[in-house]
Structure 1
Amino acid sequence: MRRFAALYRELDRSTATLDKRAALVRYFRAAPPRDAAWALHLLAGGKVAGARKKIATTRELREWIAQASALPDWLVDDSYDQVGDLAETLALLLDDPVTPGEDIALADWIEARLLPVANQEVEVRREVVLQAWRGLAFDERLVFNKLLTGALRVGVSQRLVQQALAEMSGIDIARIAQRMLGAWTPTPEFLEQLLSPQELPTDRQQPYPFFLATPLEAVLRAGVVDGTSSADDTSDDDTAPALANDPDAVARALGPIDDWLLEWKWDGIRLQLIRRDGEVALWSRGEERLDGRFPEIEAGASRLARDCVLDGELLAWREGDAGPMPFTALQTRIQRRKPGPKTLADTPVRMQAYDLLELDGEDWRERPQHERRAALDAVLAASPDCGITLSPLVDARDWTHAAALRGDARERGVEGLMLKRASAPYQSGRKRGDWWKWKIDPLTIDAVLLYAQSGHGRRSTLYTDYTFGLWDGDTLVPVAKAYSGLDDKEILQLDRWIRAHTLERFGPVRSVQPHHVFELGFEAVNRSSRHKSGIAVRFPRILRWRHDKPMAEADRLETLKALAR
């Protein structure tokens, strides 16, 4: 545990990506395989226990720390409100032991002490936790608490961990990323297979890592695209609308439009369809197998004339309709592992395929985009009854014409345009230079701040998560939650105002005096019976603080409903 706690401390204190990666390489080289496997699981976002394996609830942990520290419950709760992180709060409220206990391996803590007591009586679980608290110094106690709360957040992405493993082992990062897709168990055997230089039988069962597009605004701000990549770029900023609406700026950044393939940006579920040796598997971008949930797609894949791996978008789409149904229609299908006849009839789906990653067992990802697209066209044309369609190219004479087509995207039920360099290989992760998403301008409303909640991480002591409402008659009805869009100065100003104008508290949430108006942006509006307002907005965020607008002039609910699909 001490070695992993030292790694956690080093990662937490470092702000340089290269330093973090070097620390990870040192750890994985020195750690015993069992510990390294669990460290990989945790750093990649895994948890020790889940919904079916309860070790301790947050309420139980608060009660136990109050007993162990002899502090009143209210002081524990106030401490948590101030610190913002439960694991850190628990670690701070106890003194270090006079004599630290033995250094138990990370894997032993998890496999021999925590998992065996999962779901047992509260007294059994509490005793294991209290014994650990009494014997661990602060750094180890903090990491132990992170294991309990499942919130290891330490500024390390799964991609960075994979980069460290690739540097340490010499294995291509794409192969490592591919082997980590889907469900896996943190064992020395898995770690050995993960870093094996040989091609394994299981490699044939896994999807390829998805290639992700970057918002076009990122290159427009820089003003130039040079084909270089940034492996850790995960920005999805929708700012700089003026640049995004300027075809000349796009032309300066991307060059001749003939160098690019343009497609519609669909609003569905990103899907990788695998047909190998006649067997079919469906994988979502979230690394989840979807077998059985979309039988019409699996049946269509089985009718393909050749084995292949396709990348595309799953959409709810009725036969004969000009465009897809709203994304919310897909939500009726996502959670149904075996949809019945009514569901299949009410919400039919189709796959719009736009890339070919493998053909007849051969990896095509290094081939240029235009070559992969031509082969994909041929594969689908040879199987006209497969029910999988080719995502159409958007024919634009120049960037001005493309901008005009983008302006009509919402009426088509799409989110904008995808721009793909014709000569580009299929990469993994989000890398700048070859795939850009040119999204339409957001829909907007002016809404009133109603509730606020503290944020996480460095903003855990500030109120940064907000709920906004619109007028419905004489009543303000909540319609959206947002936590991004304000700068640090505005957040501090609003935080002070929230504290001074709180009306009620509901646990961590405060209701505030209705007064301030904010312009919100969002991608789409859909009818929803699950929301009090009857409306659900997609990807809401704050565009600006409307100091110029009184609360009475905020938008009305019927205005938002009129935008719903």
Structure 2
Amino acid sequence: MKRFADLLETLILTPSRNGKLRLMIDFFRSVPDPERGYALAALTRELDIPSVKPALLRQLVTTRIDEELFRLSYDYVGDLGETVALIWPDAADHPARSIPHGRNDMPSLTEVVTQLQAASRREGPALIEGWLDRLDPSGRYALTKLVTGGFRIGLSARLAKQALAGFGNVPVHEIEELWHGLDIPYESLFAWLEGFAEKPVSAALAPFRPVMLSHPLEEGDFAKLNPEDFVAEWKWDGIRVQASLDRGIKRLYSRTGDDISPAFPDLVDALAFEGTIDGELLIARPAGVGAEQSVTIGTFSDLQQRLNRKKLLPRHLEDHPAFLRVYDLLFHAGEDLRDLPFEARRSRLEMHAGDFDPTRFDLSPLIPFDSWEDLAALRAEPPLPIIEGVMIKRRQAPYLAGRPRGEWFKWKRDPFLIDAVLMYAQRGHGKRSGFYSDYTFGVWREEAGHRELVPVGKAYFGFTDEELKAIDKFVRNNTVERFGPVRSVRADATKGLVLEVAFEGLNRSTRHKSGLAMRFPRISRLRWDKPPAEADTLEALEVLLASDNGAD
């Protein structure tokens, strides 16, 4: 457990991606099986420990610590696991619970995982309590993160797989294709990566196939690219997914390889095409039949009603039906098509268009154009507000894992910019737990001669570390109310912090007092020079929404 705790602590304190990769590779080299495999499973969120939930930690800590003291501490720290780890009293302060001198009683990660997985929900609390007594603060932090899965250390599951690839000197896409057929603690995987065994054979049906990604199109690229060598499609405002049907097994994956099938049963159940397709997950409702069919596509806010839900209700399926706009074919009837040129894959996809349920699937249409100027004009005036821009794909491009240069490009519409006023700030997590780093901002609404700020969005990136410190100082010095971990700051016509906010689009929203919600907002600049009275108005955003929605 100590080596896992040390790894977490150093990962938190290491901001760079390459630094995290080196730490992970060194850990895999120095820690034996099965300890390193359980650590890998924890960091990739693959461990399932049903005997312990976050609420249990709250209950346990309040049996040792005054409940109000814990509440205040949690408010300050901003992270449940870190608060429990720091505030839990040392066993030495309680003689009845103290550990005999000289006894090597530190549990291993393997011991913790195997015992918890075998424990019932009634047995789990006693195990956790005993380990919290035996561990130091670093170990307690690792334990709480292990059982809750709340790792906020800047390490994604894909980055962990890239560390595995570096450890074994193999392409990361080989690990991604194997991943869903491997068993924890991944001993066969490590044996292969260390050269002691053959590459594991994935036993999984309908496995994930690593996706092909695009590069942003830059101004200088046009001179190097011949428009005759490319096709174009609209870039839809959904999420990239991969759907697969393999000998009766149906799966839906995110672009990073997470199995999201349980969240979209309506789409998965409708999958009847033997193969693997790549496309954009949307909320849409088709109408009409055959050539007369039209599809009404929802906003990204509609899609958010279905994302990350632990429990789906019938109304979610009815009000926000899942739909897949298909744009590539990777496998068909057991044949791997990824080495074929895009044109050939597209032709095969069009041949089998009739095999898809039209109420849940359709093909992403190609955009005819003769020159980059033609495409630029189309990009500037897309037919639907759901469109973010255009995708440009080389006709002869095979389907390559990762982000190969010169094959696929994305040409997004320019972001919108507004000046808004900071209204609320919330503590961050992980390395930001000591700072107010999540910001809710608003614009002015005028009614009957009265002006008030109404929230229109929330952002937590786009600023430098130095700017974060400056905003945090402003929040602390200008707090007017506290709501748990959230602070309301002074924001009126004469005093406040103006933020220049960039965003991709606007949608109607019943969840916000303003009636609007932003798509992908981020802080573009801090406008210390601008008085709050000169920030934008809700009326200006309504005009922007109307112009962006075009024919709506």
TM-score (norm 1): 0.77
CA positional deviation for 1:168: 5.1
CA distance in 1 between counterparts of 2:86 and 2:321 reads 54
Q: Which AA in structure 1 matches 2:207?
A: Q
Instruction: Find the residue that maps to 2:150 and give its secondary structure.
Output: coil
CA distance in 2 between counterparts of 1:384 and 1:103 reads 56
CA positional deviation for 1:451: 0.8
Answer whether contact 2:53 2:147 (CA < 8 A) is retained.
Answer: no
Task: Select 1:314's aligned residue among 281, 288, 293.
Answer: 281
CA distance in 1 between counterparts of 2:122 and 2:408 reads 47
Is it true that 1:482 corresponds to 2:459 in the alignment?
yes
Task: Select 1:112's aligned residue among 105, 110, 115.
Answer: 115
Answer whether contact 1:55 1:114 (CA < 8 A) is retained.
Answer: no
CA distance in 2 between counterparts of 1:552 and 1:314 reads 41
Is it true that 1:451 corresponds to 2:452 in the alignment?
no
Q: Sort the Cα spacing of 1:518 and 1:434 in 2 relative to 1 into closer, same or farther, 3 A.
A: same
CA distance in 2 between counterparts of 1:130 and 1:279 reads 41
Q: Sort the Cα spacing of 1:520 and 1:65 in 2 relative to 1 into closer, same or farther, 3 A.
A: farther
Task: Select 1:543's aligned residue among 519, 524, 529.
Answer: 524
CA distance in 1 between counterparts of 2:507 and 2:192 reads 43
Task: Select 2:222's aligned residue among 240, 243, 251.
Answer: 251
Answer whether contact 1:446 1:518 (CA < 8 A) is retained.
Answer: yes
Task: Select 2:479's aligned residue among 486, 502, 507.
Answer: 502
Q: Sort the Cα spacing of 1:426 and 1:27 in 2 relative to 1 into closer, same or farther, 3 A.
A: same
CA distance in 1 between counterparts of 2:128 and 2:320 reads 48
**Percent of aligned positions that are identical:** 38
Q: Sort the Cα spacing of 1:385 and 1:40 in 2 relative to 1 into closer, same or farther, 3 A.
A: closer
Is it true that 1:555 corresponds to 2:536 in the alignment?
yes
Answer whether contact 2:419 2:499 (CA < 8 A) is retained.
Answer: yes
Answer whether contact 2:230 2:394 (CA < 8 A) is retained.
Answer: yes
Answer whether contact 1:293 1:339 (CA < 8 A) is retained.
Answer: no
Residues 158-203 of structure 1: CA deviation (Å, up to 9, x unaligned): 2232234345557753242133349x86356886899884674733
1:401 maps to what in 2?
374
Q: Which AA in structure 2 matches 1:143?
A: A
2:203 maps to what in 1?
202
CA positional deviation for 1:62: 5.3
CA distance in 2 between counterparts of 1:313 and 1:170 reads 32
Is it true that 1:523 corresponds to 2:509 in the alignment?
no
Task: Select 2:409's aligned residue among 436, 440, 457.
Answer: 436
CA positional deviation for 1:520: 1.9
Instruction: Find the residue that maps to 2:62 and give its secondary structure.
Output: helix
Answer whether contact 1:211 1:429 (CA < 8 A) is retained.
Answer: yes
1:241 maps to what in 2?
none
CA distance in 2 between counterparts of 1:6 and 1:85 reads 19
1:233 maps to what in 2?
none
Answer whether contact 2:53 2:148 (CA < 8 A) is retained.
Answer: no
Q: Sort the Cα spacing of 1:96 and 1:21 in 2 relative to 1 into closer, same or farther, 3 A.
A: farther
Aligned-residue Cα RMSD (Å) equals 4.0
1:4 maps to what in 2?
4
Answer whether contact 2:266 2:322 (CA < 8 A) is retained.
Answer: no
CA distance in 1 between counterparts of 2:115 and 2:159 reads 29
Q: Sort the Cα spacing of 1:154 and 1:362 in 2 relative to 1 into closer, same or farther, 3 A.
A: same
CA distance in 2 between counterparts of 1:332 and 1:12 reads 32
CA distance in 2 between counterparts of 1:148 and 1:292 reads 23
1:492 maps to what in 2?
469
2:184 maps to what in 1?
186
1:48-197 matched pairs, under 5 angstroms: 49=49, 53-54=52-53, 56-57=55-56, 59-60=58-59, 63=62, 66=65, 74=69, 85-88=79-82, 90-92=84-86, 99=102, 101-113=104-116, 116=119, 118=121, 125=125, 128-166=127-165, 173-181=172-180, 186-187=184-185, 197=198
CA positional deviation for 1:508: 1.3
Instruction: Find the residue that maps to 2:36 and give its secondary structure.
Output: helix
Instruction: Give the unaligned 5+ runs of structure 1.
Output: 221-247
Is it true that 1:379 corresponds to 2:352 in the alignment?
yes
Instruction: Give the unaligned 5+ runs of structure 2.
Output: 93-100, 288-292
